[in-house]
Amino acid sequence: MSKLRFRVVEAAFNKKAIDVPTPSELPSEFFASKVFNREKMFKYLPGEAFAKLSESIEDGVLLDHETADAVATGMKKWAIEMGATHYTHWFHPLTEGTAEKHDAFADPDGKGGMIEKFSGKLLIQQEPDASSFPSGGIRNTFEARGYTAWDPSSPAFIIADTLCIPTIFISYTGESLDYKAPLLKALEAVNKAAVDVCHYFNPDVKKVVAYLGWEQEYFLVDAGLYSARPDLLLTGRTLMGHESSKNQQLEDHYFGAIPTRVLEYMKELEIEALKLGIPLKTRHNEVAPNQFELAPVFEECNLSNDHNLMVMALMRKLSRKHGFRVLLHEKPFKGVNGSGKHNNWSLGTNTGILLMAPGKTPEENLRFITFVVNVLKAVYKHNALLKASIASASNAHRLGANEAPPAIISSFLGTQVSAVLERLENTDANEVVVAGKQGLKLDVARIPEILLDNTDRNRTSPFAFTGNRFEFRAVGSEANCAAAMLVLNAAVAEQLKLFKAEVDEKIAAGKAPFAAIIEVLRKDIKESKAIHFDGNGYSEEWKAEAEKRGLDCETSVPLIIDAYLREESVKMFESTGVMTHKELEARNEVKWEMYTKKVQIEARVLGDLAMNHIIPMATRYQSSLIDNVYKMRDLFPADKAATLSAKNLEIIEDIANHISYIKEKVDELVEARKVANKIECEREKAIAYHDTIFPMLDKIRYHIDKLELVVDDEIWSLPKYRELLFIR
């Protein structure tokens, strides 16, 4: 082992776990202690302000200035008592992660002193200098004005000494520049559309909430080893590294004992997350070595997504404290499972009903089927768009490999629900007797019993029904869930609206409501059949079959993203009020640009490492072999020396071949980049990066990985997979 490598590996092995003290209070006692939730609002706000704020949170009613001032004052008082000195508008720009700019509460009082100030105006709206956030050209840099506006539906929280106020981020002319603004609009759209459909079954429903329960997968790597790998450091993934002789084939990591160092990290992460009101519930090892997962209890979608972003930030921060680095990249290691973030999604009413769960009465089950079928139809119609919503340069490594959802969106329903839909579809309309409210002669009433033992779980499906929800499994571990959630909720909203229009038309023509619903459902089941697939999503046959069914099979990320601008997508976004054509165009510019930048950085890092790490190491070892060959000649007669050196000569030649290939390809890579960089159109540029530059990375890597196998371990300075993945 090289000296440097030895030093970092040894340090990693000897690192002690940090003992995280168990809090003296129970989780139920410190839960949400750092959140300005209802309880604190009640305590810190005057009665009227509390009532108005509650109304605003529940029904989106705008706050007047007086109330905003009262809320700001109460919030400030609480925050200062909690030790906060600063506040920030916290938002989700179109980059990864979140953004914030901190301002101190303290302000000159005009008399030579300072006073802690925070007004309703500062709470509600701010203008960060936003020129450096991606906007896809919506906000020209000369009018660098975008502003952040408070989202009262997600409570403020404290991190370290700062009060964080969740906000949306929009341009001066009102276009959204973030993930939150369109998500909120999509949630509102689905609320309205679903409430209307619920009224066929229950006129008391006033509100429908979309729920999200995410499952976050991640890797932990020792911080010392991480910093000795420039590729991990700069790109979040290893651009080289031969597979370890042992990786996940024994499947001994999954649900195995969690190593102490990791456990202490998880423990602190949980404590801090609970204080922030994030209801973390499960933690376990994942399939790959050093891979783990955590999941909270599901919450309202917007809040849950904020919590996911907060957790990712906490994970990054605490991993450093514990001597780790957390890898949220979807595919940090080749040949080892990547990380995803399953998005469990459902709709629920203010009357406490989960709309994607079967009920006890025939009406309840018809409602259940109504929602399931409408979701299927929406997913079918927008399958290309849903794929676009999870597509990124990093997630592309994971999709389509035999470990993650395939690059084709389909939906698994399981035998029971499939059977119910089939029966409904094939029942002659006249057989469906709709006598009054109870007279459905369908077997739908019997669903609950059979669903109880719904154990058939299909892990290969990207969009699976799992009992009372759908699980969108193609979302990337690093992604902002909002990207997928805003598309899904908006698509379902659009579909529910169309469904209602069709049903109402039939009712107006004299059909009984349930009969009308059943008729439309039967048609929709037929029409969206192509999306329903319960088989093995990893199989080659499925690819061919999906193509035949007309599902989107595109695999190139820059082209997948085109789906946002398809006519039916634009129509869907505009009719639901979620995004305008202009916004969609701008956001696609950002997506293509991001794609290009990611691949560009990887290409640069790989080129640099190849030239200043790999080739020098390989040459050094090769020189020592050459030296040996010459010495053999000094020592032995010529023909004997030749025989004895034959194998070393082979290695020398081998190394020379790899080196010359690598050098040649790195030169080509530089040239290809120069050509691509001249392309002005972001879309075309991204396509060039995808088609010509990206494939070269793997080709170069292949030869580097071969060298790793032959070059003397004494010389190899980059930590190897076996060290990165198995250090505790």
Q: Shortest gap between Cβ of 727 and ligand ADP (angstroms)? A: 26
The residue number whose beta carbon is nearest to ligand ADP equals: 213
Establish if 468 lies at the interface with ligand ADP (CB under 6 A). Answer: yes
The residue number whose beta carbon is nearest to Mg ion equals: 342
Phi/psi of residue 293, each to 5°?
-140, 145
Phi/psi of residue 14, each to 5°?
-90, -5
DSSP result, 438-502: T---SGGGGHHHHHHT-----TT-SEEE-SSSEEE---BTTS-HHHHHHHHHHHHHHHHHHHHHH
The whole-angstrom separation of Cα 618 and Cα 717 is 11
Establish if 215 lies at the interface with ligand ADP (CB under 6 A). Answer: yes
Give the contact letters, 19-58, x = binds to ligand ADP (CB under 6 A), - = no.
----------------------------------------
Strand bridging mode 299-300 / 324-327: unpaired
Cβ-based nearer residue to ligand ADP, 148 or 308: 308
Q: Which of the ranges 44-52, 194-202, 208-216, 641-649 carries the binding residues for ligand ADP, by CB under 6 A?
A: 208-216
The whole-angstrom separation of Cα 167 and Cα 90 is 6
Enumerate residues 6+ apart whose C-beta is below 8 A from 221.
Answer: 232, 290, 324, 325, 327, 332, 724, 727
- Cα distances from 366 to residues 438, 450, 474, in angstroms, run 11, 16, 29
Q: Which residues of 499-529 are buried (b: 16+ CB within 10 A; e: fewer)?
A: bbebbeebeeeebebbbbbbbbbbebbeebe
When CB distances are held under 5 to 8 angstroms depending on the partner's kind, the choice from Mg ion, ligand ADP, none that residue 213 binds is ligand ADP
When CB distances are held under 5 to 8 angstroms depending on the partner's kind, the choice from Mg ion, ligand ADP, none that residue 90 binds is none
Establish if 89 lies at the interface with Mg ion (CB under 5 A). Answer: no
Cβ-based nearer residue to ligand ADP, 430 or 455: 455
The whole-angstrom separation of Cα 13 and Cα 272 is 27
Q: Shortest gap between Cβ of 399 and Mg ion (angstroms)? A: 16
Cβ-based nearer residue to ligand ADP, 291 or 344: 344
Q: Shortest gap between Cβ of 459 and Mg ion (angstroms)? A: 9
Establish if 342 lies at the interface with Mg ion (CB under 5 A). Answer: yes
Establish if 255 lies at the interface with ligand ADP (CB under 6 A). Answer: no
Cβ-based nearer residue to ligand ADP, 345 or 716: 345
Establish if 469 lies at the interface with Mg ion (CB under 5 A). Answer: no
Q: Shortest gap between Cβ of 215 and Mg ion (angstroms)? A: 5
Q: Shortest gap between Cβ of 485 and ligand ADP (angstroms)? A: 11
Q: Shortest gap between Cβ of 386 and ligand ADP (angstroms)? A: 17
Cβ-based nearer residue to ligand ADP, 300 or 527: 300
The 3-state DSSP composition of the chain as helix, strand, coil percent (nearest 5) reads 55, 15, 35
Is the alpha carbon torsion for 439, 441, 447, 448 positive or negative?
positive
How many C-beta neighbours within 10 Å does residue 662 have?
25
Establish if 297 lies at the interface with ligand ADP (CB under 6 A). Answer: yes
The DSSP output letter for 129 is B
Q: Shortest gap between Cβ of 418 and ligand ADP (angstroms)? A: 20
If 0-12 CB within 10 Å is exposed, 13-18 middle and 19+ buried, where does residue 692 land? middle
Establish if 354 lies at the interface with ligand ADP (CB under 6 A). Answer: yes
Establish if 266 lies at the interface with ligand ADP (CB under 6 A). Answer: no
Q: Shortest gap between Cβ of 292 and Mg ion (angstroms)? A: 14
- Cα distances from 84 to residues 103, 277, 568, in angstroms, run 11, 17, 48
> In the complex, which residues of this chain contact Mg ion (CB under 5 A)?
215, 342
> In the complex, which residues of this chain contact ligand ADP (CB under 6 A)?
211, 213, 215, 282, 295-298, 342, 344-346, 354, 468-469
